[in-house]
Structure 1
Amino acid sequence: MKTIKDIIKLKAVRYTALILGGFLLGWAFFSPNQSNQASTHDHEHAAGEAESEVWTCSMHPQIKQDKPGKCPLCAMDLIPLRKGGGEGGEAVDPNAIQLSEEAIALANVQTTRVSRGNPVKTMRLYGKIAPDERSLQSQTAHVSGRIETLNVAFTGQTVQKGQTLATLYSPELFNAQQELLEAIRMQQPMLVTAAREKLAYWKLTPEQIAAIEKSGKPSSTVAIKANVSGVVMTKRVNTGDYVSQGGVLFDIANLSKVWALFDAYEADLPFIKKGDKISFTLQALPGRTFTGIVAFIDPMIDPTTRTARVRVETGNPGMEFKPEMYATAQLEASLRGHDNQLVIPQSAVLWTGKRSVVYVKQPNVNVPAFLLREIDLGPSLGGSYVVLAGLNEGEEIVTNGVFSIDASAQLEGKRSMMNPVEAKPVTGHEGHVMPAQNAAPQTNHSSAHMQGMSESNKTKSFTLEVKGSCGMCKERIETTAKGVAGVTEAVWNQETKVLKLQIDTNKTSLQAVSKAIAKVGHDTSLHKADKAVYDALPGCCHYRE
């Protein structure tokens, strides 16, 4: 034992033992097996990431590959498909679309909470001033003869009741006067009475008959007196013309009361009732607002414009209202039967004709997620809709940037406006995915394309990009589109510059609607407005740089 202790105490033995211990520790930590295991783990992790990445085509989202390349349909470069999914184990609906905060800011996505209210429909009606038809009077010749003198020289002249309008030479009237004078000379009361009545039937006044009897001489001419006071709307004769009995000489209208006639689309008629208060403005009298009461609603619809006339009666003491002046009316109508209903902005709705969809924000997730939902819409309120079913009070819906979210859904192959069923791609040859049988049909990728389904075999939904800049542009675009026979609905979004249309393709086409809009000064994605027409638009409507 003593010998062994002595050996251990030797410095050479101690150093040798330390060196051997260092080699053993180095082998344990830096052995080839450990290094191979670590590199294998890193390689598997990277491979897993590569396998999870999917590449798709921005024009044909049904194409999916596990590596970059070219689209087999259009030869465009494939782009990586962003995978949705919650962070930190969040329970995100697999059909939801997730956007980062940066993406939401770039797309200007805005949301609002669904709330209830008593909806009021605001309608704008367009029309013009017209004479009160009940005051129109035709001034006729009650006896045949020739116009000797004409006291009314032009149309628009104001006349008073009893005023002499013209002097008429009539042989028949001359003979009737001679008969009266002869009966007086013969002192035959019955003949006198008959002769007076004959002259009265020809509209001679008692004063004129008395003057004939007093003078004792028949007059070859007779004065035609105005039956009513008013304005001469039409002058039909000139000096020297021969007129027959009953012939119309002048059309006279009393403009102390006038009508304001407005065109109301058939979709708005259920909300307009006789007795409703209405306010209107005139282009000729800017800055002034006039009020009236709806006195009559035409029971017939114009088959061309699909409108009915709404009549408002108003006084015209200062003769400021002149026939054919353009008028714009605003009417607010409470929707009876829709009290305390859900109301959402119009910009939140993606409308495909048969289906109306919105994007609802999923609650309780860190990264915003949006889920497509179909809803049932009630009446349109102009800038909003009444919701009958599909939403609950307090839910948060997207009101701006809806198209951007829907485009993201289409790229990811999820439910979207054009694809009511989530696409389930089928793997084809060459490593890409072929279109599924239930995938959305391919569309022509232009600013004007058909959207979704149609309500019937005739009516189809379209969108058209239309340039404009203000509310006046919106009114002009929608009015022009609705004025084309076959267009049943037209709504232009001032922010997105997109016009949504419902068109009966048996009656018209998208090309015809686009041409009509271009003719009134608005560029579309299919036609450009004439420069002279564009320059004639009001300054607030100019949109070209």
Structure 2
Amino acid sequence: MKNAFSIAFIALAIGGALGYVANGYFSDGQSSKSNDAASNEPLYWVAPMDPNYKRDKPGKSPMGMDLIPVYEEDLTGGSNDPAGTVTISPAVENNLGVKTTQVKRQKLAPKIDSVGYVNFDESQLWQINSRVSGWIKNLSVNAIGERVLAGQVLFEVYSPDLVRAQEELLNAKRMGKAALVNGAKDRLRSLGVDNGQINDILRRGKTRQYIAIKAPADGVIATLNIRNGAYLSPQQTVISGGSLSDVWVDAEVFERQAHWITPGAEATMWVDALPGKNWQGKVDYIYPILDPATRTLRVRLKFSNREANLKPNMFANLTLIPQTKESVLVVPEQAVIRSGNMSRVVLAAGDGKYRTVRIETGRTAAGMVEVLDGLDLNDAIVTSAHFMIDSESSQNADLNRINTHIPTEPVSQVQTTGVIRNIMPDHKMLTLEHPPIPEWGWPAMTMDFTVSDDSDLSQFVGGQSVRFLITKQDSGQYTLSEIQADEAHSSTNMDHSTMDHSTMDHSTMDHSTMDHPPQVPAMEEAEQ
């Protein structure tokens, strides 16, 4: 009997001990779960497209979008990051297709497209003018464009003036006076007779009725103004021609592009008549006068034409590549977000962190944009999906100054007055309507503030005028302290019937140092 009682007592004791331990375990678990649940409660709800529109319960934004909850870790997790920093998980980065590139330094020059016409190289043109009156015989060229060689006889001319000049030469030779002979030779040369024919006249000892006129250089005939039997008069242009070993192309560039073009700049040319071929040349001359009608500047380019495929008056397509010696910081043009007079990019800070920064841009060429200020060499910027990141980051980012210009001693405390619009004792928050705060570039507006732990909110009521101290914490949040009733100001003297914080324009507000704490604008007044 005693043994049975002992066994029952021992079993009861063991069961009691196990029950106590289990109860403590599950009680701790429930307490932990309760604490976790409490810590995971949203602090407030915010509009997806306007972080200044905040409420203490779920609802709709002025745009009809569901408000999203903000938790404590959302406010404290990035407190050491610059304003406007957003964090994106690797999975979301992959889904968005985020791509980055580095800021680099390179020569920046645009490729300028133009058109032009092929012409003779005018430095190699030649022409034959008549220096005497006479008649044409044995014309050897019949059409423009015919090729001729240097020294080739183009035509023969009979002129009484040439016959008399030959007789003077022969008479001087018979007289044996060298001075007269040299003078007669010079006269024949001035009339267009070459040395070979003069020597032949002296050797034969008699005049030639017809003097041959020869081509001075290789080339093609450009103009032909005579025919067999035609009569010539002095100063008449008879034949002209030129070489096509090199050609000139006259092109035009717009006034805004003219400063890029310098002599020696490279150019590429192709013509529709010869598909698949292109020629490399250089800018030979820049005309000094702008065309007032077309607002374009003429540019002359020179190309080699050894194969003689290019013909005068051909239509040509051109790409000019300006020369530049200076290397500048550049980013892809697609990475730059332009809004009004502002340009900005999304900076990749690493570890999934991104923020919008303002930059100052310069010239644009070949898909690249010159960066004058705001970025450093090798900075990583986003080139794809950056508009989506910017829409979130730019709401809180400081875009009133270039990224590199950061004030050294910002104001950390401001004393001001305001009117209480809402009291949230459970959250230790006040909704206050305050005047402009020039120290931080804030306009007059209604916003929410977290109050210091030693502040007693029970002594205040809605609509009461108060004086308070705003302090910027190291975390970037703003808190209120030293809150006192301001009897000198009465809320009845202020007309705020037209103020709606949900539709306020904060474009002029300097958010350079601002990271709003939980804010809930006056719900009743804003919604009425």
Normalised by the size of structure 1, how large is the TM-score? 0.50
1:14: which partner in 2?
none
User: What is residue 90 of structure 1 aligned with on the other side?
Assistant: 77
Counterpart in the other structure of 2:123 = 134
3-state DSSP of counterpart to 2:187? helix
Q: In the alignment, is the contact (CA less than 8 A) between 1:426 and 1:436 conserved in 2? A: no
2:163 alignment partner in structure 1: 177
Report deviation, 1:164.
Answer: 2.5
Shift of 1:157: 0.9
**Equivalent pair of 1:425/1:433 in contact (CA under 8 Å):** no
State the SS of the aligned residue for 1:372. strand
- Equivalent residue, structure 2, for 1:357: 344
- How far apart are the structure 1 equivalents of 2:162 and 2:213? 17
> 1:156 corresponds to which residue?
145
Question: Is residue 347–residue 379 contact of structure 2 (8 Å, CA) maintained in 1?
Answer: yes
Residue 241 of structure 2 aligns with an amino acid whose one-letter code is I
Partner of 2:155: 166
Partners of 1:300 and 1:335 in 2: CA distance: 23
1:480-519 to 2 correspondences below 5 Å: none
Deviation per residue, 1:353-383 (Å, 9 max, x gap): 965421113445xxx5532212345665634
- The offset of 1:282, in angstroms, is 3.9
1:13-52 aligned at under 5 Å gives the runs 52=45
User: Unpaired segments of 5 or more residues in structure 1?
Assistant: 1-40, 72-76, 441-545
Q: Identify the residue that residue 112 of structure 1 maps to in structure 2.
A: 101
Amino acid at match of 2:375: L
Indicate the RMSD between aligned Cα atoms, in angstroms: 5.4
Q: Deviation at 1:159?
A: 0.7
Cα distance, 1:331 vs structure 2: 5.7
One-letter code aligned to 1:174: P
1:326 aligns with 2:316: yes
Residue 185 to residue 112, structure 1, CA distance change in 2 (3 Å): closer
After superposition, the Cα gap between the structure-2 partners of 1:345 and 1:192, relative to the gap in structure 1 and judged at 3 Å, is closer
Aligned in 2, Cα 1:423/1:246: closer, same or farther, shift over 3 Å? farther
Equivalent pair of 1:107/1:401 in contact (CA under 8 Å): yes
- The DSSP-based 3-state class of the residue aligned with 1:250 is strand
Structure 2 distance, partners of 1:89, 1:62, is 16
Q: Judge conservation of contact 1:55–1:79 (CA < 8 Å) in 2.
A: yes
Mapping for residues 384-403 of structure 1, pairs under 5 Å? 384-385=368-369, 387-392=371-376, 395-403=379-387
Structure 1 position 375 matched with structure 2 position 444: no
Decide whether the 8 Å contact of 2:252 with 2:298 is kept in 1.
Answer: yes
Q: Encode CA deviations 1:296-340: one digit per residue, 9 max, x unaligned.
A: 5648475656667475564x443345454736568696745x4xx
Distance 2:344 2:503 in 1: 27
Q: Which amino acid aligns with 2:380?
A: E
Q: Aligned letter for 2:498?
A: H
Distance 1:358 1:184, change over 3 A: closer
State the Cα distance separating 1:250 from its structure 2 match: 2.8
Paired amino acid for 2:382: V
Kindly provide the CA deviation profile for residues 40-74 of structure 1, in whole angstroms up to 9, marking residues without a partner as x: x99xx89x86xx34487xxxx899798759x8xxx
Deviations 1:423-470 (A, max 9, x none): 969576385645538559xxxxxxxxxxxxxxxxxxxxxxxxxxxxxx
1: CA distance, partners of 2:322 / 2:166: 66
Query: Structure 1 residues 146, 176: closer, same or farther in 2, change over 3 A?
Result: closer
Q: Alpha carbons of 1:312 and 1:218: their partners in 2 closer, same or farther (altered >3 Å)?
A: closer
Question: Are 2:238 and 1:249 aligned?
Answer: yes
Letter in 1 for 2:142: A
Report how many residues are paired.
Answer: 366
SS in 2 for 1:134: helix
Query: How far apart, in 2, do the equivalents of 1:83 and 1:263 lie?
Result: 61
- For 2:300 and 2:108, locate their aligned partners in 1 and report how far apart those are by CA, in whole Å: 17
Q: Which has the higher strand share?
A: 2
2: CA distance, partners of 1:228 / 1:387: 54
Match of 2:455 in 1: none
Answer yes or no: is 1:348 the counterpart of 2:335: yes
| TM-superposed deviation, 1:174 | 1.3
Given that 2:100 and 2:380 are in contact with CA atoms closer than 8 Å, whether structure 1 keeps it comes out as yes
Find the counterpart in structure 2 of residue 24 from structure 1: none
SS in 2 for 1:429: coil
SS class of match (2:505) = coil
Structure 2: distance between partners of 1:146 and 1:84: 104
Change (3 A) 1:98 1:149: farther
The Cα offsets for residues 120-140 of structure 1, whole Å up to 9 and x where unpaired, read as 446545576654332111222
In 2, the alpha carbon distance for the partners of 1:308 and 1:230 equals 26
User: Relative to 1, partners in 2 of residues 1:55 and 1:381: Cα closer, same or farther, differing over 3 Å?
Assistant: closer
Shift of 1:158: 0.4
- Residue 334 of structure 2: SS of its match in structure 1? helix
State the 1:203 CA deviation.
Answer: 0.5
- Check conservation: 2:133, 2:161, Cα contact below 8 A: no
Equivalent residues in 2 for 1:447-486 (5 A)? none
Alpha-carbon distance between aligned partners in 2 of 1:185 and 1:88, rounded to the nearest angstrom: 116
Answer yes or no: is the 8 Å Cα contact 1:409–1:415 preserved in 2: no
- Counterpart amino acid of 2:133? S
Give the whole-Å Cα distance in 1 for the aligned partners of 2:373 and 2:48: 38
Tell me the CA shift for residue 104 of structure 1.
5.5
What SS class does the counterpart of residue 192 from structure 2 fall into? coil
Please say if residues 258 and 297 of structure 2, whose CA atoms lie closer than 8 Å, have aligned partners that are also in contact.
yes
Q: Which has the larger radius of gyration?
A: 2
Structure 1 residues 209 and 351: CA distance shift in structure 2, 3 A = same
Name 1:205's counterpart in structure 2: 194
Compared CA separation, residues 207 and 249, structure 1 to 2 (3 A): same
Residues 342 and 125 of structure 1: CA distance in aligned 2, closer, same or farther (over 3 Å): closer
Q: Distance in 2 between matches of 1:401 and 1:380?
A: 22
Letter in 1 for 2:101: T
* 8 Å CA contact retained: 1:423, 1:436: no
Contact kept? 2:134, 2:231, Cα under 8 Å: yes
TM-score normalised by structure 2 residue count: 0.51
Q: 1:110 to 1:217 in 2, by over 3 A?
A: closer
Please name the residue that 2:469 is paired with. Answer: none
Contact persistence 2:110–2:322 (CA under 8 A): yes
Where does residue 429 of structure 1 map in the other structure?
498
Q: For residues 65 and 415 of structure 1, what CA distance do their matches in structure 2 show?
A: 20
Cα deviation, residue 192, structure 1? 7.2
